Amino acid sequence: MLKLSRIDRLIVNFDQGLRTIFGQPLTSARPNPAQHVESDELTASEKQLTARLMRVNHAGEVAAQALYQGQALTARSETIYASLQQSAREENDHLVWCKMRVKACGGHVSFLDPLWYAGSFTIGALAGIVGDKWSLGFVIETERQVIVHLDQHLQRLPERDAESRAILLQMQEDEAHHATVALKAGGVMLPVPIKWAMKGTAKVMTNVAFWI
């Protein structure tokens, strides 16, 4: 396994950040789950709702990418660093799929994506500094909260929007896998107050991203 210095990691993180916000993210090259799914024609109001919901999910994936990159930067184990980067690449699949769906419905991604990235990167880096087991615990709790969030969006989507539904279901499956990987790697459960703080922060982001 190639051992990277802190400077090497910082360069990788900077590149990933630029790709996430302004360019083409590096993905695992999996096919879009919606590419062979046909939805019934949505009304204008249904398209607007879908675009806003998928914008929230895109913003969430921007934040998730930043968390992983921040945690990878300060990870102490090279094995955990590699695992975080692999999960980040799979999260980039979600990022691309959500953006494509937003655009297909005539919407735009959040104008505050750079803010979501910067804030989440800082949180991820701090989690990594505390220690790998706590950083992985942060991954576990984040992914579990995302799964609940996706459940809520699956209920809010227009009934005939099969394309967005296919994307969110695949995202749920991936998030569960990432949580399992982090748990097996030694992640520990976070204190309840931290879980509450994470939920509160996520609620602010999702509410704002729905409109901006």
| More confidently predicted of 146 and 74 | 146
Q: pTM of the prediction? A: 0.87
Residue 199 counted as domain residue: yes
Residue 189 domain boundaries? 43-211
Residue 119 counted as domain residue: yes
Residue 13 counted as domain residue: no
pLDDT of residue 3: 65
Residue 145 counted as domain residue: yes
pLDDT of residue 106: 94
Residue 12 counted as domain residue: no
Residue 17 counted as domain residue: no
pLDDT of residue 163: 94
Range with the poorest average pLDDT among 16-20, 57-61, 144-148: 16-20
Q: What is the CATH number of the domain that holds 168?
A: 1.20.1260.10
pLDDT digits (tens, 9 = 90+) for 139-156: 899 889 999 999 999 999
Structure tokens that stand for 147 in this block: 């799964």
Write down how long the chain is: 212
Structure tokens that stand for 204 in this block: 């602010």
8 Å CB contact between 58 and 110? yes
pLDDT of residue 4: 65
pLDDT digits (tens, 9 = 90+) for 108-133: 999 999 999 888 888 888 888 888 88
> Hey, CA dihedral for 53, 55, 61, 62, is it positive or negative?
negative
Structure tokens that stand for 161 in this block: 């929007």
pLDDT digits (tens, 9 = 90+) for 87-115: 777 888 898 999 999 999 999 999 999 99
Residue 151 counted as domain residue: yes
8 Å CB contact between 143 and 182? yes
pLDDT of residue 51: 96
The phi, psi pair for 109, rounded to 5°, reads -75, 170
Please, what is the average pLDDT of the chain?
86
Q: Which of 49, 195, 68 is nearest to 125 (CA)?
A: 68
pLDDT digits (tens, 9 = 90+) for 155-184: 999 989 999 999 999 999 999 988 898 888
* Domains contained in the chain, number: 1
Residue 52 counted as domain residue: yes
Residue 175 CB neighbour total at 10 angstroms: 25
| More confidently predicted of 13 and 127 | 127
